[in-house]
Amino acid sequence: MTPIVMIPARMAASRLPGKPMADIGGEPMIVHVWRRAMAAAIGDVVVATDSEEIAGVVRAAGGRAQMTRDDHPSGSDRIHEAITAIDPEGRFDVVVNVQGDLPLISPQAIRAVFAAIDHPDIALGTLVARIEREEERTASQVVKMVGSETAPGRFRCLYFTRATAPWGDGPLWHHIGLYAWRRSALARFVALPPSALETREKLEQLRALEAGMRIDAVAVDDVPLGVDTPADLHRARQLHAQGAAP
């Protein structure tokens, strides 16, 4: 496999506008994500963005940015446009999608999601972490993965839901929205219309499952902090100041 890591980033986030440029320890958040993706050392890293400001700070840090349209409905659509522009010949056959609002993501987690796509039947790989806090078992904002464990810490995903599932005794798994796509699967995915379950649960990955794509997941120890609100940003700044390690 020949992978590339792509980080979609846009300025128009509804709950925290301009968040890729939010300062964390003297650098924009998007630069922190780029540095951690580089540290994963699995391939080239490109930020896909609709903002010249975002592209400028990435390039100033020594990174690479690809401009995209500003009307994409999702990060998946944005990285598909970017990879098509960067590599029309199809040299890169795996696209690792690292969200631009994960400034404390560990390079180990990025490497783990790449490892989840180690069989040609797998269309995309993702990450999960065991739910330990009782309140997260029922929280709708915590997306649960329902799957069959095929090896210790390795799953074939059967469903994703905001409900508490599966029923009965046993662990629940928190889905982490980090993906490693086979490029052919990404192209197929963005060409499909939103599916019924995707629309109902508001979970994009269900479109892939409904289309018959195989998704595998690898378990990691912790859920990385995603920055969606001012409170999240404050927490990220605190953790960075405390020396949160890559």
Closest by Cα among 220, 232, 30, 231 to 125: 220
In the chain, % of residues over pLDDT 70: 99
Whether 127 and 96 map to the same domain: the answer is no
Q: What is the mean pLDDT of residues 177-202?
A: 96
State the residue for tokens 């699967």.
Answer: 185
Do both 94 and 17 map to the same domain? Answer: yes
User: Does pLDDT of 182 surpass 80?
Assistant: yes
- Average pLDDT of the chain to the nearest whole number: 94
Report how far apart, in Å, the C-alpha atoms of 238 and of each of 12, 102, 127 are.
24, 14, 25
Q: At residue 153, does pLDDT exceed 80?
A: yes
Question: Per-residue DSSP letters for 59-104?
Answer: HHTT-EEEE--S--SSHHHHHHHHHHHH-TT----EEEE--TT-TT
Residue 154 or residue 17, greater confidence: 154
* SS3 at position 9: strand
- Nearest-10 crossing angle of helices 107-115, 29-40: 50
Q: Is residue 124 part of a domain?
A: yes
Query: Which two tokens mark 246?
Result: 């890559």
Question: Total domain count for the chain?
Answer: 2
The label of the residue with tokens 């378990």 reads 219
Q: What pLDDT does residue 245 have?
A: 63
Tell me the residue ranges of DSSP E strands in the chain: 3-9, 23-24, 27-28, 44-49, 64-67, 94-97, 124-130, 144-151, 154-161, 173-182, 215-219
Whether the predicted pLDDT of 139 surpasses 90: yes
Q: Is residue 8 part of a domain?
A: yes
Domain termination residue (choose one: 79, 105, 131)? 105
Share of the chain above pLDDT 90, in %: 89
What span, in angstroms and rounded, lies between the C-alpha atoms of 8 and 16?
16
The arithmetic mean of pLDDT across residues 182-188, rounded, is: 97
**161 lies in a domain?**
yes
d(CA 158, CA 72): 27
Cα 134–chain centre separation: 25
pTM, full prediction = 0.93
Confidence of residue 246 (pLDDT cuts 50, 70, 90): low
User: Per residue in 11-29, pLDDT tens?
Assistant: 887 778 899 999 999 999 9
pLDDT, tens digit, 9 for 90 and up, residues 36-59: 999 999 999 999 999 999 999 999
Tokens representing 23 are 């300062």
Domain that holds residue 145: 119-176+193-222
Q: Is residue 232 part of a domain?
A: no
